[in-house]
Amino acid sequence: MPDAKPDARAASRSKVSATVDIERSGRQVGHLAVPHSRDDSAWGAVRVPIAVFKNGKGPTVLLTAGNHGDEYEGQIALRKLIRSLDPSAIQGRVIVMPALNGPAVEAGRRLSPIDGVNMNRAFPGIRDGSVTRMIAHYVHSELLPHVDAALDMHSGGKTLHFSPLAAIHALDDPGLMARTRAAMLAFAAPIALVLRELDAEGMLDTAVEDLGKVFVSTELGGGGTTSTATIAIAERGVQNLLKHLAILAGRPETRESLGLPPTRLMRTPDQGYVIADDAGLLEMLVDLDQKVRAGQPVAQVYRLDRPSEAPVAYPARVDGVLIGRAHQCLVKPGDFVGLVAQAE
Ligand SMILES: [Zn+2]
């Protein structure tokens, strides 16, 4: 007898198992088990928390945080949501993953300590890959086909700091762009940014967009910590998105209704990134949210071994507002220094 042909579907199914059933109604809080055989646990698995809320008819939204383990507003807001969301109050389905890269979250690091992989460059994932790639493959193959919209909450982590913003990519499909833009505005962050990435391949963003679905991301602060203000933005943004998608009843809360300045719609020009060419001590000369002119230094770098030498100035290349900056004061060539955005 020849060997049976492997079942193509079985061969493409995720090796990750879940304790939740995304087709079941009600509230389920469980985990994914990602096989991870190792010296200290022969049949071990890495657990990644997941919650599913389903009721009635309506769209499915995927809410993720901890894609990078050292970015915290989203992780906290989603843990609050898991404890507070009443499944009978929703129409549709809410899938919540507050620690998408579980091992990175447990280690308080951007990348997984197990395989060193950046979750946001691991999509669409690999079925038989390392732990991070298997999680990405599960999300891509088992969740995204059922998802209408996704929100992935980031912050600057330990090395960057952002003025709180919701962000989308510029998309070629005008219909998808309009729906994505409306979802970004519903989030009601201080800034709504149409972003041009330095490197978009392998991102969860790109994976969802390529499926023709709405994707919104955020950068809500940074430095590996949170503030009451940035957590409030995250919590309100999640509730607003659920209302915008009609999964929760009611209208999104606008910034104006809270007595806050309206959302500033911005974009990143090609020349908006300021990158270090020198190693040394970074002195920011412009704070977040301050206006800059093209040619105006936003930072300068002191060579550690040349105390008598003048620092090297890093000018903005365009007029705009500084919305992102390095958080660490030691930089190397190639490090991100600042991001200048312009009004759309
Ligand atoms: Zn991130």
What tens digit of pLDDT does each residue of 150-198 get? 999 999 999 999 999 999 999 999 999 999 999 999 999 999 999 877 7
- Cα(325) to centroid of ligand 1, in Å? 14
- Cα(244) to centroid of ligand 1, in Å? 24
124 cis-preceded (ω within 30 degrees of 0): yes
- Sheet with 280-284, strands from edge to edge, namely 312-315, 297-302, 280-284, 330-331
Non-local (6+) Cβ contacts of 183 within 8 A are 149, 151, 168, 214, 216, 241, 244, 245
The domain spans of the chain are 8-267, 270-343
Please tell me what DSSP assigns to residue 143.
Answer: I
- Cα(145) to centroid of ligand 1, in Å? 23
- Cα(72) to centroid of ligand 1, in Å? 10
Q: Whole-angstrom Cα distance, residue 335 to residue 141?
A: 34
pLDDT of residue 21: 98
pLDDT of residue 4: 46
- Cα(66) to centroid of ligand 1, in Å? 8
Where in 155-232 does DSSP place strands (E)? 160-162, 165-169, 191-195, 214-219
- Cα(67) to centroid of ligand 1, in Å? 6
Please tell me what DSSP assigns to residue 140.
Answer: I
Give me 234's structure tokens: 């995250």
- Cα(152) to centroid of ligand 1, in Å? 9
- Cα(70) to centroid of ligand 1, in Å? 8
3-class DSSP assignment, residue 62 = strand
- Cα(55) to centroid of ligand 1, in Å? 31
Confirm if 338 and 272 have CB atoms less than 8 A apart: no
pLDDT of residue 196: 73
Same fold across 8-267 and 270-343: no
pLDDT of residue 91: 98
* CATH architecture of the domain with residue range 8-267: 3-Layer(aba) Sandwich (3.40)
- Cα(97) to centroid of ligand 1, in Å? 15
Confirm if 158 and 224 have CB atoms less than 8 A apart: yes
Confirm if 279 and 304 have CB atoms less than 8 A apart: yes
- Cα(270) to centroid of ligand 1, in Å? 21
- Cα(219) to centroid of ligand 1, in Å? 7
Share of the chain above pLDDT 70, in %: 97
- Cα(75) to centroid of ligand 1, in Å? 11
- HSE of 61 in the Cβ direction (CA atoms, 13 Å)? 26
Q: Whole-angstrom Cα distance, residue 50 to residue 30?
A: 5
pLDDT of residue 9: 53
- Cα(102) to centroid of ligand 1, in Å? 14
Q: Which fold has domain 270-343?
A: OB fold (Dihydrolipoamide Acetyltransferase, E2P) (2.40.50)
- Cα(19) to centroid of ligand 1, in Å? 27
Ranges of residues in the chain whose predicted pLDDT is under 50 = 1-6
Give me 12's structure tokens: 């493409």
pLDDT of residue 124: 96
- Cα(280) to centroid of ligand 1, in Å? 24
- Cα(302) to centroid of ligand 1, in Å? 28
Rounded to 5°, the CA angle 189-300-305 comes to: 135
- Cα(110) to centroid of ligand 1, in Å? 7
The owner of tokens 């193959």 is: 141
pTM above 0.75, yes or no: yes
Long-range contacts, stretch 238-243, CB < 8 angstroms, 24+ apart: 238/63, 238/77, 238/78, 238/81, 238/151, 240/186, 240/187, 240/188, 241/61, 241/149, 241/151, 241/183, 241/186, 241/187, 241/216, 242/61, 242/90, 242/94, 243/186
3-class DSSP assignment, residue 233 = helix
- Directed axis angle between helix 228-244 and helix 73-84, to 10°? 50
- Cα(196) to centroid of ligand 1, in Å? 15
The owner of tokens 């030691």 is: 330
